[in-house]
């Protein structure tokens, strides 16, 4: 590499780090907005977020960035770059090509709108006020449709959104995978519905002190290896994780006094996200690769810790006595009864509290609605009716209000259309990864039963976490498991688990 090209590379890396710094500041302001910022400060904070996001966007699509990319993406130059540098160049090139035609004022308007919208959503959800929230959502969808035109329509308009969260994902692929999954899960659900030996869940319908829930959540996070010197646990309306940098990865949960399981499993879920980002290799810190490679892979880690470890019998063999100490009202409930209760299968209204089997139906509902919005002309005003119709069709139940229906998720208020499919992809990736983990770590159940979770975190760090975004989702899953995404592992896992629980 000649001296001038070397200088281009160094200047590019400085610019990329500057963009990363903007994103860290934006992430911190956004975290504060959702964890207790005063409501009167929301309008000004939203404008600040819009301004910073626009400045980062201008850097990403600047003439300076174009000049660096023109040089560094020359084939003979690209092949001389170190792997990390080459991957950063490729990521920036993809983002530049996608975004260079978007007017910066559109980015600013969108960021301000979504910042205000998320705060409005909290009130709308609480008051079940879809009419009050609808104008925000209408404007978000309108702007998102404009962005699709700027970015370039792929096979369908919705394909463009899917690709933002899972590179290379298409409607055709998701439809095929979901069809394959439904072909095995629907008969399984029918068998479970007909089963006589159903778990008793009455003892879960009690009041559980939220301070004790917080203490237990902190305890479990510490057990799984979450580094509190590189993160913190807070409360928010909808649980989330924010990775500012590997040394600052924050998570939130939500405590419900009439549901002891909600905070536990959301803490495990967000803790899985956080372990991923806390354990990215130090060499990637400050680069655009210091984040998860896709939302599907990210969700695989949250779902693996939440469900495949956190809802397992070995896990509760170790931690159930600790739970009983925090909540004496469970002292007379046997371990097996508790384990079966937290793994019950039943149609429910709330996605984040759904069992592992019906959860995928919640995702399919959202996926189909989003397709209708962007590909088929569904209007925002008709969302509640469409939502309720699909819940009746897929789960046989109807929301009693929009707060537990179409307003239950934060995602649309932030413009995250195309995200939901990654949750089911995450379930599939997680089952496939867990299959490999069991093969390579035959003592897995014994380690979990002993509360020795750190070797699991270390294995995941070695196979997944440390690479950040330096490997594509496809490269990563093939390197870890030896094959591309295969939904049969999830179906196999669920069939075996529920056959045992329901004595099928």
Tens of pLDDT, residues 382-391: 999 999 999 9
Report d(CA 470, CA 39) in Å as an integer. Answer: 39
* Marked catalytic residue, from 55, 118, 166, 270: 270
> According to the annotation, is 299 in a ligand binding site?
yes
Mean pLDDT of 360-366: 95
Selection from 255, 273, 269 nearest residue 216 by Cα? 255
> According to the annotation, is 273 in a ligand binding site?
yes
> According to the annotation, is 30 in a ligand binding site?
no
**Angle subtended by helix axes 3-34 and 42-60, to nearest 10:** 160
Does 105 qualify as catalytic in the annotation? no
Burial class (CB in 10 A: 0-12, 13-18, 19+), 400: exposed
The distance from CA 298 to its chain's CA centroid, rounded to whole angstroms, is: 6
Q: What percent of the chain has pLDDT over 90?
A: 95
Report d(CA 101, CA 206) in Å as an integer. Answer: 55
Beta strands 233-235 and 241-245, pairing class: unpaired
Report d(CA 210, CA 214) in Å as an integer. Answer: 6
Maximum Cα–Cα distance across the chain: 75
Tens of pLDDT, residues 284-334: 999 999 999 999 999 999 999 999 999 999 999 999 999 999 999 999 999
Q: Count CB atoms within 10 A of the CB of residue 67.
A: 13
Evaluate if residue 4 carries a pLDDT over 90: no
Tokens at 36, concatenated:
């207790």
Q: What is the pLDDT of residue 2?
A: 86
Tens of pLDDT, residues 444-465: 999 999 999 999 999 999 999 9
Strand arrangement, sheet containing 241-245: 233-235, 248-253, 241-245
- Give the ranges where 246-291 is alpha helix by DSSP (H): 260-278
Q: What is the pLDDT of residue 1?
A: 76
Report d(CA 394, CA 191) in Å as an integer. Answer: 16
Report d(CA 497, CA 355) in Å as an integer. Answer: 12
């Amino acid at each position: 590499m000649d001296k001038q090209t070397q200088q281009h590379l160094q200047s590019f890396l400085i610019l990329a780090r500057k963009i990363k710094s903007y994103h860290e500041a934006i992430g911190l302001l956004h975290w504060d907005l959702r964890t207790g910022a005063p409501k009167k400060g929301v309008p000004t904070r939203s404008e600040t977020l819009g301004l910073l996001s626009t400045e980062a966007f201008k850097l990403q699509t600047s003439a300076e960035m174009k000049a660096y990319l023109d040089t560094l993406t020359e084939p003979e130059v690209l092949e001389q770059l170190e792997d990390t540098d080459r991957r950063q160049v490729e990521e920036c090139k993809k983002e530049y090509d996608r975004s260079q035609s978007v007017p910066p004022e559109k980015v600013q308007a969108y960021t301000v709108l979504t910042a205000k919208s998320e705060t409005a959503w909290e009130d709308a959800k609480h008051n079940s006020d879809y009419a009050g929230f609808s104008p925000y959502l209408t404007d978000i969808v309108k702007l998102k449709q404009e962005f699709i035109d700027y970015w370039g329509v792929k096979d369908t308009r919705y394909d463009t959104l899917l690709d933002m969260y899972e590179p290379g994902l298409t409607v055709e692929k998701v439809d095929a995978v979901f069809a394959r999954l439904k072909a095995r899960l629907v008969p399984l659900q029918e068998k479970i519905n007909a089963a006589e030996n159903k778990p008793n869940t009455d003892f879960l319908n009690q009041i559980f002190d939220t301070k004790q829930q917080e203490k237990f959540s902190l305890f479990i996070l510490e057990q799984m290896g979450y580094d509190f010197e590189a993160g913190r646990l807070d409360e928010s309306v909808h649980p989330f994780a924010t990775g500012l940098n590997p040394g600052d990865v924050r998570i939130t949960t939500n405590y419900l006094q009439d549901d002891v399981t909600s905070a536990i499993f959301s803490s495990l879920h967000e803790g899985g996200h956080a372990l991923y980002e806390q354990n990215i290799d130090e060499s990637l810190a400050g680069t655009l690769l210091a984040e998860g490679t896709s939302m599907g892979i990210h969700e695989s880690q949250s779902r693996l810790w939440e469900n495949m470890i956190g809802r397992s019998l070995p896990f509760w063999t170790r931690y159930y006595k600790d739970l009983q100490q925090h909540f004496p009202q469970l002292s007379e409930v046997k371990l097996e009864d508790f384990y079966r209760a937290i793994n019950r299968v039943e149609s429910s209204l709330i996605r984040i509290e759904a069992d592992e089997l019906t959860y995928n139906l919640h995702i399919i509902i959202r996926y189909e609605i989003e397709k209708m919005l962007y590909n088929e002309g569904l209007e925002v005003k008709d969302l509640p009716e469409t939502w309720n119709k699909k819940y009746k069709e897929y789960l046989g139940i109807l929301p009693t209000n929009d707060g537990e229906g179409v307003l239950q998720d934060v995602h649309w208020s932030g413009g995250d259309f195309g995200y939901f499919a990654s949750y089911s992809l995450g379930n599939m990736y997680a089952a496939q990864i867990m299959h490999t983990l069991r093969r390579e770590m035959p003592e897995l159940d014994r380690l979990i039963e002993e509360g020795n979770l750190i070797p699991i975190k270390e294995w995941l760090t070695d196979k997944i976490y440390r690479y950040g975004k330096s490997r594509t989702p496809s490269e990563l899953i093939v390197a870890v498991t030896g094959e591309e995404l295969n939904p049969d592992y999830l179906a196999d896992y669920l069939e075996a688990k529920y056959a045992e629980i329901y004595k099928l």
